Structure 1
Amino acid sequence: MTIAAEDDQSPPDPTEIPAPEYKKRKHSHRRNRAVRHTLTGETRLHTGFRSRILGNERNIIVYLPPGYSAEIEMRYPVLYMQDGQNLFDKATAFGGVEWGLDETAQRLIIEDRIEPLIIVGIYNTGEHRIEEYTPTRDARLKKGGGADRYGQFLIEEVKPFIDERYRTLTDPDNTGLGGSSLGGLVSLYVGLKHPSVFGRLMVMSPSAWWDKAMIINFITSLKAKSSTRIWLDIGTLEGKFTPHYVRTLRDQLVRSGWRLTDDLHFLEVENGEHNEKAWGARADQALEFLYR
């Protein structure tokens, strides 16, 4: 299938895309002991969370909103985020640069700009990241395709674990999923495939080019538009081709029934780069759209 863009220039043939930038990023779940912890607010770390479905283990870090321990009758929406080691803490983040998502959420909640929420950071395992975060096997790269099992892991193992231990609102309207890069790709794919579980999606700089832009064809194949609320963004400096694919992804979401500024917000950041600092800098806007 040929994918047409609705902007000034059509994306190139995906097979012409050079080796992607992610190959230079060596993700790890290990702590950088030379860097001090930078956690804000109340966080809880669950180490060695074992998955029967995936056959591996990882850490899960949970940010709790101000007042969580005092308001013992209150329940909260939950946002599940990929690449959890990069969200809150320089000591565990890729390259020692975190999103600062704990500081951002804390500030927005205190200023009454978003509703209080729980944020669950699910660490990647490093070696399995590409496999788990991609819906299909990319024939050119000869890897990937484990997103369905990863989604099963989120729905059948992680979410029940969190719902059992924390005061959560468990319905889809109060359950979000998010991430960046390949983490954005898997969040959009799993979220739209399971709208009865996830109702809010934070999709930052998604790797929409993966496997000849399969995510766009996946959205085209959806039998019905869900009520899922979607934040989608991209930076203009995120490679020569990726912004084109993300704009095409936006256009397909609109064709499928999502409405810009209503249940779909698209942001293109001038001079925005593909890194944790850039994603953290606009996380406040994403949280306000999804949790205002």
Structure 2
Amino acid sequence: MCRVFLLFMIFFAACTTERMTNIEQLKKDVSAAENPSQRKQHIENYMEQVRRTGTPIIENDTTVIYLYQGPNTRVRILGDVTQWADDIEMENIPGTDLYYYRGVHPAEARLEYQLIVDDDPPIADPLCPYMVLNGLGSHSELAMPGYTYHPAFKAVRDGTPGDYARVTRHQLPIGIMGYTTEIYVYTPPEYDSLNAHHPTIYLLDGQDYIEYAHAPAVLDYLIKSGELEPAIAVFLAPPNRHLMAIPNRSTEYGMNPDFTRFMADEVVPFVETHYRSLTLPSERLVAGPSYAGLASAYIALRHPDVFGLAYSQSGYHSFRSNALIEAFRQARRESIRLYVDIGIYEEMVGLGWLPDDAINFLRANRQFKEVLTEKGYDFVYQEYPEGHTWGNWRAHLIDALSHFFPADNQSERTP
């Protein structure tokens, strides 16, 4: 969370009582300098303050300053605010090696970004101490003053990846899909010492949830802090992760009826044979982001007798000209509950490789909301000032889990 707390909205540097120089004042000081040595000194004094606070610098509730220092000819910003499609040119302060950009964002926004220096590949902002991991690399993170950062992520704001210490790996034999599948199973604290049964969370793109969303550690935190009832989590690994080779997540998650049968007829029975899972549909949640969000909603629609709960994070509901939305429209209303969320910076997802009529995930999710409303489904719909990133998904996974499995549910559960 690259923010300077509200105390610094009037430009006080962190851990000091000195007044921090305004960027406009810095430009005036540099312009008035009598020689290169004076200009350099003004920049050095300013950057000494900046390094104590980190960047971007919060000017007020909605305005921030991005900075980059280096002997370059061009620096640009690429990120959520540009929907990862365009870039924003940073301005050089003449006669110096300092570049800046004043951005205006929603007060509650949480945005990820990278810098393009000259024509090199995008990099994380070297002045920003906070990063979020994603499938294509590390993003720097800006959290605006109105954004609330969950304490479960306090220890990993530097971009530390999640580990597999709290999960057990299983390999499912060849079955419906025609190849083996890896799953990783998390059990809640005190699972071994208590003879209790628990609801089960099935997470598609499972390894990403472990490494980028720190889901096992987050579950530990939520359960121990009393925010969530104890639950089992099953992380499913798609084949050829992050590769174009076939099969892959696209072949599994693209409304594939074989994959829905695999989930209902092979994965769930395996888990419930080996773990103390509660067995009502209302005690099984299937969830995932993007393509996996599409798959999660489709699995619940096809197998409501198995999965009574579905969570779609930034779901690819524009897939095949809104095929999932039409499937919900045409089918009878099933006894499933859904949680659907989307970022407002998700109008150009996959630009250049998804069909042009499919890149507006925000519009498609709003259309999905309309159909769910028309059909009378029990659902929650949320929009956030965020983008198509794991920083978004890891934070709001907590919201959905707390909705479906609040801690006070535990007293009502029976095995």
Measured against the shorter chain, the TM-score band is 0.7 to 0.9
Distance in 1 between the 2:216 and 2:329 partners? 35
Distance in 1 between the 2:174 and 2:390 partners? 27
**1:166–1:100: structure 2 CA closer, same or farther, 3 Å change rule?**
same
Contact 1:40 1:103 in 2 (8 A): no
**1:194–1:105: structure 2 CA closer, same or farther, 3 Å change rule?**
same
Deviations 1:67-106 (A, max 9, x none): 11110x20011011111111113xxxxxxxx112122221
Contact 1:235 1:269 in 2 (8 A): yes
Give the C-alpha shift of residue 274 in structure 1: 1.1
Alignment map for 1:57-206 (pairs within 5 Å): 57-71=180-194, 73-89=195-211, 98-126=212-240, 127-128=246-247, 129-135=249-255, 147-206=256-315
Alignment of 1:265 with 2:374, yes or no, is: no
Unmatched segments (≥5 aa) in structure 1 = 1-19, 27-34, 90-97, 136-146
Deviations 1:97-118 (A, max 9, x none): x112122221211122221100
Distance in 1 between the 2:367 and 2:175 partners? 37
Alignment of 1:245 with 2:360, yes or no, is: no
SS at match of 2:183: strand
Contact 1:265 1:289 in 2 (8 A): no
Contact 2:264 2:303 in 1 (8 A): no
Pairs aligned (count): 235
Q: Which letter does structure 1 place at the counterpart of 2:254?
A: T
**What is the aligned partner in structure 1 of residue 329 from structure 2?**
220
Distance in 2 between the 1:239 and 1:37 partners? 28
Q: Which letter does structure 2 place at the counterpart of 1:167?
A: R
SS at match of 1:87: helix
Distance in 2 between the 1:274 and 1:56 partners? 30
Distance in 2 between the 1:85 and 1:156 partners? 22
Contact 1:77 1:168 in 2 (8 A): yes
Distance in 2 between the 1:255 and 1:36 partners? 43
Q: Which letter does structure 1 place at the counterpart of 2:169?
A: L
**What is the aligned partner in structure 2 of residue 42 from structure 1?**
166
* TM-score normalised to structure 1 length: 0.76
Distance in 1 between the 2:338 and 2:319 partners? 20
Q: Among residues 255, 269, 275, which one is paired with 2:374 in the alignment?
A: 255
Q: Among residues 329, 339, 343, which one is paired with 1:235 in the alignment?
A: 343
Distance in 1 between the 2:231 and 2:363 partners? 33
Distance in 1 between the 2:367 and 2:162 partners? 37
**What is the aligned partner in structure 2 of residue 17 from structure 1?**
none
Distance in 2 between the 1:211 and 1:51 partners? 29
Give the C-alpha shift of residue 239 in structure 1: 2.8
Give the C-alpha shift of residue 51 in structure 1: 3.0
Give the C-alpha shift of residue 37 in structure 1: 6.8
Unmatched segments (≥5 aa) in structure 2 = 1-84, 86-134, 137-158, 241-245, 349-359, 407-415
Deviations 1:248-277 (A, max 9, x none): 10110010002xxxx31111011x111222
SS at match of 1:109: helix
SS at match of 1:88: helix
Q: Which letter does structure 2 place at the counterpart of 1:268?
A: E
Distance in 1 between the 2:334 and 2:259 partners? 21
Contact 1:64 1:119 in 2 (8 A): yes
SS at match of 2:173: strand
Contact 2:347 2:363 in 1 (8 A): no
Give the C-alpha shift of residue 45 in structure 1: 1.2
Give the C-alpha shift of residue 185 in structure 1: 0.3
Which has the bigger relative contact order, CA under 8 A and spacing at least 6? 1
What's the C-alpha RMSD, in Å, of the aligned pairs?
Answer: 2.1
Contact 2:314 2:341 in 1 (8 A): yes
Contact 1:202 1:286 in 2 (8 A): yes
Contact 1:51 1:153 in 2 (8 A): no
* TM-score normalised to structure 2 length: 0.54
Alignment of 1:276 with 2:395, yes or no, is: no
Give the C-alpha shift of residue 41 in structure 1: 6.8
> Segments of 4+ in structure 1 off by > 2 A?
35-42, 48-51
Contact 1:42 1:66 in 2 (8 A): no
Q: Which letter does structure 2 place at the counterpart of 1:280?
A: R
Identity %: 27
SS at match of 2:201: strand
**1:153–1:62: structure 2 CA closer, same or farther, 3 Å change rule?**
same
Contact 1:60 1:123 in 2 (8 A): yes
Distance in 2 between the 1:54 and 1:212 partners? 25
Distance in 2 between the 1:229 and 1:49 partners? 28
Give the C-alpha shift of residue 227 in structure 1: 2.6
**What is the aligned partner in structure 2 of residue 291 from structure 1?**
405
Deviations 1:152-203 (A, max 9, x none): 1111111111101101111101111111101000110111121110111111
